[in-house]
């Protein structure tokens, strides 16, 4: 029995905490414009995102967002259904805030003597706010605003090393492709609005029938929306910004974008397609089953990402292509939906994005550590690092094997569920068998390049003449914490799976 009832808007607390932290950082900056007090800045960021994380987890445990029928406190709808806080929103707010916290702690060392400290952290918090809002956005307008709120700070973050050519080039590419895909996305919104007369997702679903004569228009709109998601999640066909942007960006920013931003992109895709375009009525209007688009995109994305990753010599680019490959895995969550279910496959995709948030962030943070040490960027430059830094390299081994999906690590669990879900979905749609086969084949291929990195740090002989490597506290703490999360996923996977599956069930129904 609650002592007092919180107002409805309090359900948005995780996002509100993030934006408050961003404003707090502005206040700090305005009091002391050139502060380099990195303990204060990184500390504020980390505390803010950890608070958001805590609140999001607390809400999930307390049953906020769970339908009252299932014993929860009910899904909270705000501003006439423009924003909605359900379990899926809280789940993804958790993902975003845990990644933000890890990245903030790691940035303490990485951005150590950088000139624009407070700008860096406040931009990151603004982007995180945008991503958390994406998780709750329930109308095409709020989705677009949240998407831009997440994207604009990200462009600046990628090019924040403004004297570094790669950083600026990556930022420009990211911005140009981002602008293009935003334009396509908005155009898609306008077509959907033209066909159905609504922007709010439930309202679109209710008015699909009325769009009968504009079926083609609606289909084109949906296709353009998919383009927008593809950009944000770094999936085919808007994936090619990712390797350049990640390579040029400071490694913690790359970690942030490839984990949190990707997850946020997926949450809007999940929400739009399950809420606004339910499979059966949409198919009736536009004449095509939209899961077909996701089946093709999933297969192409995972295959392209993996094959490209296998041929890289630069570790960061390898991770960038691997992140494209993982976007392909998560796309299975939409490809596997069918008229009579699909909550396993979608829940599995959500689990994968959560676990991916730990393991991929950890891997990029190891690259950040290597950049901090200045050991170089290729696989050869990493040779024999384990002799000098066994703990960090042990953690790297965990991340790599987890990304490859080797048990008992977190990445195995989510891939296992994805595979199981894909096979289950094949009972309704046998094309999913091909997707499941592609998942297995790609997992096998991915082992090659992930193991290559493990081989470099653990098995190859050390590069001669390397200086002693320091042990930066923040980076080490973040890497170890990410590794622990990746391993601890084993015993606590029950609750995670429950949360994700429930969230997916609510979203689909």
Per DSSP, the three-state class of 76 is strand
Q: Which two tokens stand for residue 245?
A: 């942007």
Q: Does 399 bind other proteins (CB under 8 A)?
A: no
Q: Does residue 480 belong to the site contacting other proteins (CB under 8 A)?
A: no
Nearer to other proteins, 232 or 326 (CB): 326
Task: Tell me the number of residues near other proteins by CB under 8 A.
Answer: 36
Q: Residue 77 belongs to what H/E stretch?
A: strand 76-78
Q: Is the Cβ–Cβ distance between 505 and 343 less than 8 Å?
A: yes
The verdict on 460 binding other proteins (CB under 8 A) reads yes
**CA-to-CA dists, residue 80 to 179, 200, 461, 509, angstroms:** 29, 9, 62, 20
- Binding mask 196-235 toward other proteins (x if CB under 8 A, else -) reads ----------------------------------------
Least distance to other proteins from the beta carbon of 298, Å?
Answer: 17
Q: What is the phi/psi pair of residue 452, to 5°? A: -60, -40
Does 493 bind other proteins (CB under 8 A)? Our answer is: yes
497 is an interface residue for other proteins by CB under 8 A:
yes
Q: DSSP per residue over 171-189, as a string? A: HHHHHHHHHHHHHHHHHHH
394 and 369 in contact (C-beta within 8 Å)? no
Cα distance between residue 170 and residue 249, in whole Å: 7
| Residue 9 binds other proteins, judged by CB under 8 A | no
Helix, strand, or coil (residue 85): strand
Q: 396: phi > 0 → left, psi -120 to 50 → alpha, else beta; which?
A: alpha
423 binds other proteins (CB under 8 A): yes
Mapped onto helix, strand or coil, the DSSP state of residue 386 is helix
Instruction: Identify the residue among 43, 378, 458, 469 touching other proteins (CB under 8 A).
Output: 458
The residue (of 440 and 469) whose beta carbon lies closer to other proteins is 440
Per CB under 8 A, does 447 bind other proteins?
yes
Among 406, 477, 480, 484, binds other proteins (CB under 8 A): 406
Stretch that binds other proteins, among 5-13, 34-42, 118-126, 444-452 (CB under 8 A): 444-452
Nearer to other proteins, 78 or 447 (CB): 447
420 forms part of the interface with other proteins (CB under 8 A): yes
Nearest approach, Cβ of 464 to other proteins (angstroms)?
Answer: 18
Select the residue interacting with other proteins from 6, 27, 179, 444 (CB under 8 A).
444
Among 427, 470, 473, 509, binds other proteins (CB under 8 A): 427
Please state, in angstroms and rounded to a whole number, the distance separating the CA atoms of residues 78 and 222: 25
- DSSP 8-state symbol, 385: H
Among 92, 401, 476, 481, binds other proteins (CB under 8 A): 401
- Using CB under 8 A as the binding rule, whether residue 501 contacts other proteins is answered as yes
195-231: b or e for each residue (b if 16 or more CB lie within 10 Å)?
bbebbbbeebbeebeebeebbebbbbbbbbbbbbbbb
Q: Does 408 bind other proteins (CB under 8 A)?
A: yes
Contact flag: residue 489 with other proteins (CB under 8 A): no
Query: Which of 157, 154, 171, 107 is CA-nearest to residue 369?
Result: 107
Q: Which two tokens stand for residue 187?
A: 């155009």
Task: Name 31's Cβ contacts closer than 8 Å, sequence gap at least 6.
Answer: none
Using CB under 8 A, which of the segments 31-39, 227-235, 248-256, 418-426 binds other proteins?
418-426
Look-up of token digits 């998780």: 135
**Nearest Cα to 248, choosing from 320, 147, 142, 337?**
320
* CA-closest candidate to residue 38, choices 99, 119, 129, 102: 119
Read off the DSSP letter of residue 1.
-
Q: Which is nearer to other proteins, 364 or 401 (CB)?
A: 401
Tokens of 365: 């943070």
Stretch that binds other proteins, among 163-171, 196-204, 445-453, 470-478 (CB under 8 A): 445-453
Binding flag, residue 468, other proteins (CB under 8 A):
no
Task: For the segment 325-344, give every residue that binds other proteins (CB under 8 A).
Answer: 343-344
Side-chain-side CA neighbours of 408 within 13 Å: the count stands at: 8
Of positions 13, 75, 324, 436, contacts other proteins by CB under 8 A: 436
Residue among 62 and 490 whose Cβ is closer to other proteins: 490
Q: Does 407 bind other proteins (CB under 8 A)?
A: yes
Other CB atoms within 10 Å distance of the CB of residue 278: 17
Minimum gap (Å) between residue 439 Cβ and other proteins: 9
How far is Cα 215 from Cα 193, in angstroms, rounded to an integer?
A: 12
Binding residues (CB under 8 A) for other proteins: these are 343-344, 390, 397, 401, 406-408, 412, 416-417, 419-420, 423-424, 426-427, 430, 433, 436-437, 440, 443-444, 447-448, 451, 455, 458-460, 493-494, 497-498, 501
């Amino acid at each position: 029995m609650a002592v007092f009832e919180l107002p409805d808007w309090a359900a948005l607390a995780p996002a509100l905490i993030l934006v408050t932290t961003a404003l707090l950082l502005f206040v700090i900056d305005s009091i002391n414009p050139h502060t380099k007090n990195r303990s204060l800045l990184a500390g504020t960021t980390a505390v803010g995102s950890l608070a958001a994380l805590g609140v999001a987890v607390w809400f999930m445990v307390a049953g906020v967002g769970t339908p009252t029928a299932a014993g929860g406190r009910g899904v909270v709808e705000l501003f006439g259904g423009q924003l909605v806080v359900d379990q899926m929103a809280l789940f993804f707010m958790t993902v975003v805030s845990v990644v933000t916290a890890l990245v903030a702690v790691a940035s303490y060392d990485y951005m150590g003597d950088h000139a624009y400290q407070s700008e860096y952290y406040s931009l990151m918090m603004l982007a995180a706010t945008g991503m958390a809002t994406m998780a709750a956005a329930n109308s095409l307008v709020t989705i677009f605003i949240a998407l831009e709120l997440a994207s604009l700070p990200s462009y600046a973050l990628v090019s924040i090393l403004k004297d570094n050519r790669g950083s600026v080039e990556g930022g420009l590419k990211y911005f140009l492709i981002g602008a293009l895909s935003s334009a396509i996305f908005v155009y898609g919104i306008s077509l959907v609005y033209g066909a159905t007369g609504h922007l709010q997702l439930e309202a679109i679903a209710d008015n699909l029938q009325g769009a009968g004569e504009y079926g083609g228009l609606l289909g084109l709109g949906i296709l353009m929306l998919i383009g927008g998601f593809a950009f944000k999640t770094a999936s085919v066909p808007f994936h090619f910004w990712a390797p350049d942007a990640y390579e040029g960006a400071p490694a913690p920013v790359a970690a942030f974008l490839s984990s949190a931003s990707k997850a946020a992109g997926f949450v809007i895709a999940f929400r739009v397609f399950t809420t606004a375009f339910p499979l059966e009525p949409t198919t009736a209007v536009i004449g095509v089953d939209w899961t077909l688009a996701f089946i093709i995109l999933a297969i192409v994305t995972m295959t392209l990402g993996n094959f490209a990753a296998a041929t890289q010599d630069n570790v960061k680019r390898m991770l960038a292509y691997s992140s494209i490959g993982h976007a392909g895995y998560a796309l299975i969550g939409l490809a596997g939906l069918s008229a009579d279910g699909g909550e396993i496959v979608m829940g599995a995709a959500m689990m994968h994005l959560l676990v991916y948030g730990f393991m991929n962030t950890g891997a990029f943070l190891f690259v950040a550590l290597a950049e901090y040490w200045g050991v170089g960027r290729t696989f050869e430059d990493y040779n024999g690092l384990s002799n000098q830094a066994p703990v960090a390299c042990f953690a790297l081994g965990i991340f790599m094997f987890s990304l490859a999906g080797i048990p008992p690590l977190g990445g195995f669990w989510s891939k296992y569920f994805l595979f199981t879900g894909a096979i289950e979905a094949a009972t309704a749609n046998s094309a999913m068998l091909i997707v499941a086969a592609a998942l297995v084949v790609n997992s096998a291929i991915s082992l090659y390049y992930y193991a290559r990195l493990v081989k470099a740090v653990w098995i190859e002989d050390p590069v001669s003449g390397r200086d002693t490597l320091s042990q930066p506290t923040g980076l080490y703490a973040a890497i170890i914490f990410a590794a622990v999360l990746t391993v601890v996923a084993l015993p606590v996977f029950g609750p995670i799976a429950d949360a994700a599956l429930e969230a997916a069930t609510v979203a689909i129904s």
